Structure 1
């Protein structure tokens, strides 16, 4: 049965409940950033190396991206509410495993479980919202949903910093559990079941090919930062990633029920919106990864203060995301998105000039401006994506846009981490020139630990 989209009496309540579960998912994109230096500490954390820190983030993001499309299709077939509830169970289990991980490898594996859960929650929650709102109210509902994504991204470091101020590092994951349990109970009671009248088949081969391609590309980028792109190590992985990506695209063109329906990209609005989403998240997630190292290692701020310094990003999202629909009606989606992209680019480019004595007003102002820019891009772009697909294929449109977002996030973090590691290696090169190669590599890997010493 499908829910009425015109007059569902609980649509705003349903939106609020789904946003609570969504916030937990999105928080985990950035909550770990503020704990990276703690995790790198052998005494207080897990003694993770720089590459292990990047993989603790990207294992979540890559699995999230790789299974979004397939799990969206499963939700269309078997029920979107059922899919969200299953995702919440996986996310809760992954959070518990992450909180009590005894090694970087265990943490990375637990984050994979969290990524699987998130891959079900995000696309299916938006598909439910899209199906319950009439056309007139749908852009506003999607704007609220999109704004909550931006707010969650910015609140992650604050929540993480607050928890690290009083508890051990595992608390940044354990805090998810009561939220997810409460969301599960309320969603089971309040949210109506919906499904597609024309569900597709799950493209398992496509999902596995996409994960293999993205993992190879990400590993190559990370290895380039660790060992230098002048060395041989990163290039086989990068080449394998490109080949696997080409095979994936060929498979999707020929598959009867592709995970990624390339025909959707024939629509100019759909393509432009996804491009804008990818660009803004590539830049934003890379900046969020970098800024925590700057604030904690360079400026010496505690995790809580470092997290609070990026709250202007969340404040801007809270103010401007709901207003973006009205701006689009007045100025047009192209003008609003273009302005948002330019503002985001200018604000984040300014972080390149940060120094040890840069005013904190400059840091906060840059993130406030980036938050405005992201608000002007995300909500209109998501509305454009959802308007480009039939309502009974809402999960496909939502999953595609969120896949683009997660892929861009993973690559942004990988590139930012690679640049950070490369700069660090270059900076310590004169001091470690006399050490054996193995010792030089170890010093280059232990960025946070070496700084602490």
Structure 2
């Protein structure tokens, strides 16, 4: 990865250029969580049921995951700064479209466009680090990106809540415009251009297979509770996903220089660290989707209050992230990762005991533990996966790792929210309601509250709240099982990498460790 000599020769310019990358990561960080507090409002104002809300959140993740590999390779081939700026502009276009939308289908399209932009931004924002910094300084640079992402997570709900309390729901998209404008300007002025002509070529067929295969899989998971798991569209979606993803695997295994180098999964350290990171994201993304409706609709807090009450989770992440690195250096990553996953499992199990009448103190407790477990598991898992890669395959390997993380996020969101939708629909009592009102109330807990308010039906409100909380508890129980299984797998199969630490210190592999 050739560096621009002028950039490498001016120490101050390197850190000023890092500010441009930090701004990019801050924008993606708060946009990850800002939409969550808007979902209950969008459900009411756009008439979006749970399935459509899932697509609003998941369209971003599916496109993000599917395009990350080709996006990173495009940057290697045609210039990382150029591609990074292009990604920011695509993200800006999606944000503008979302702010002007007046129906849920347009919001889904806007989120998909934003996912395409984020796929261009994320890997390239990290890939420019070795262009700017040597091994000694890169740890500080990665720490700065970690801090930006960590700051963005709690900033998102607070900023989103403030905007929703004072403006229309589209403002959560429009707020991206000034941040993107600043990031584009900073990148153009401060970042050097760099390329890697030796990177694998981008395959249109591989990209098409990954996008369509993942899209079909997520469609089946989201639509299963609503249409029925044995319905023709759902079965066809799963069959198509199996065929398309199988073709993707076969094609990439036969290519001499694949975009998706699945042979790397034959390395036990890379495989089990990747499994840990993916299952952490599976759990985390689903939790951040289900919580706002509980806090805002069931508990009755406004949007800003909802954002404020989600802060214990990112604060727990930040606390754990500071303790994780020295702890892993002393004990090795295996007990730290397994311990973090176990803490997440305990937190989700505690959360599954939530009732409609519980106060916020109980929620804050288990939310804090979720954050601590996440921070304790994901950082050493990412570091261990990337540290196990040979230098010449670091780019492709990091792309595979990030892709699998995003795939797990998309499936986790779809699966856990589908669990809630199924339980909610099964337990909601709509007896005595007109058929139209009953159908509307079954769409989401927010819709049920709107129907109950129009009909002055307090019993429907109580039933909807109880049904949603029971669905949330079930989803949290599934999360606990997944986290506990991941902890057991890591404890049993993850190789100890403590002896390899000294060797890794001299490497020039990109430390793409943080995307929390």
Contact conserved, 1:127 with 1:398, CA < 8 A, in 2?
A: no
Q: Compute the displacement of 1:439 (Å).
A: 7.5
Could you tell me which residue of structure 2 aligns to residue 19 of structure 1? 22
Return closer, same or farther for 1:269/1:153 CA change in 2, 3 Å cut-off. Answer: farther
Which structure 2 residues correspond to residues 380-419 of structure 1 after superposition, within 5 A?
A: 380-389=380-389, 394-419=394-419
Which structure 2 residues correspond to residues 169-318 of structure 1 after superposition, within 5 A?
A: 169-229=169-229, 231-318=231-318
TM-score by length of 2: 0.81
Could you tell me which residue of structure 2 aligns to residue 57 of structure 1? 57
Tell me whether 1:100 sits opposite 2:95 in the alignment: no
Q: Secondary structure, in 3 states, of the residue corresponding to 2:246?
A: helix
Return closer, same or farther for 1:216/1:284 CA change in 2, 3 Å cut-off. Answer: same
With 262-271 and 57-66 compared, the bigger mean Cα shift is at: 262-271
Could you tell me which residue of structure 2 aligns to residue 48 of structure 1? 48
Q: Compute the displacement of 1:292 (Å).
A: 1.0
Return closer, same or farther for 1:268/1:116 CA change in 2, 3 Å cut-off. Answer: same
Distance in 1, matches of 2:14 and 2:261, equals 29
Tell me whether 1:2 sits opposite 2:3 in the alignment: yes
Distance in 2, matches of 1:391 and 1:80, equals 19
Q: Compute the displacement of 1:6 (Å).
A: 8.5
Return closer, same or farther for 1:271/1:138 CA change in 2, 3 Å cut-off. Answer: farther
Contact conserved, 2:28 with 2:149, CA < 8 A, in 1?
A: no
Distance in 1, matches of 2:148 and 2:277, equals 15
Q: Compute the displacement of 1:136 (Å).
A: 4.0
Contact conserved, 1:123 with 1:395, CA < 8 A, in 2?
A: no
Q: Secondary structure, in 3 states, of the residue corresponding to 2:431?
A: helix
Could you tell me which residue of structure 2 aligns to residue 157 of structure 1? 157
Contact conserved, 2:430 with 2:438, CA < 8 A, in 1?
A: no
Contact conserved, 2:278 with 2:405, CA < 8 A, in 1?
A: yes
Return closer, same or farther for 1:357/1:443 CA change in 2, 3 Å cut-off. Answer: closer
Return closer, same or farther for 1:367/1:257 CA change in 2, 3 Å cut-off. Answer: same
| RMSD (CA atoms) | 2.5
Distance in 2, matches of 1:29 and 1:137, equals 28
Deviations 1:198-219 (A, max 9, x none): 1210022112111111111111
Distance in 1, matches of 2:184 and 2:271, equals 34
Aligned length: 448
Distance in 2, matches of 1:381 and 1:49, equals 36
Could you tell me which residue of structure 1 aligns to residue 129 of structure 2? 129
Q: Compute the displacement of 1:377 (Å).
A: 2.1
Distance in 2, matches of 1:441 and 1:230, equals 21
Return closer, same or farther for 1:345/1:128 CA change in 2, 3 Å cut-off. Answer: farther
Deviations 1:214-243 (A, max 9, x none): 111111111112134355542222222222
Greater relative contact order, per chain length (Cα 8 Å cut-off, separation 6+): 1
Contact conserved, 1:226 with 1:445, CA < 8 A, in 2?
A: no
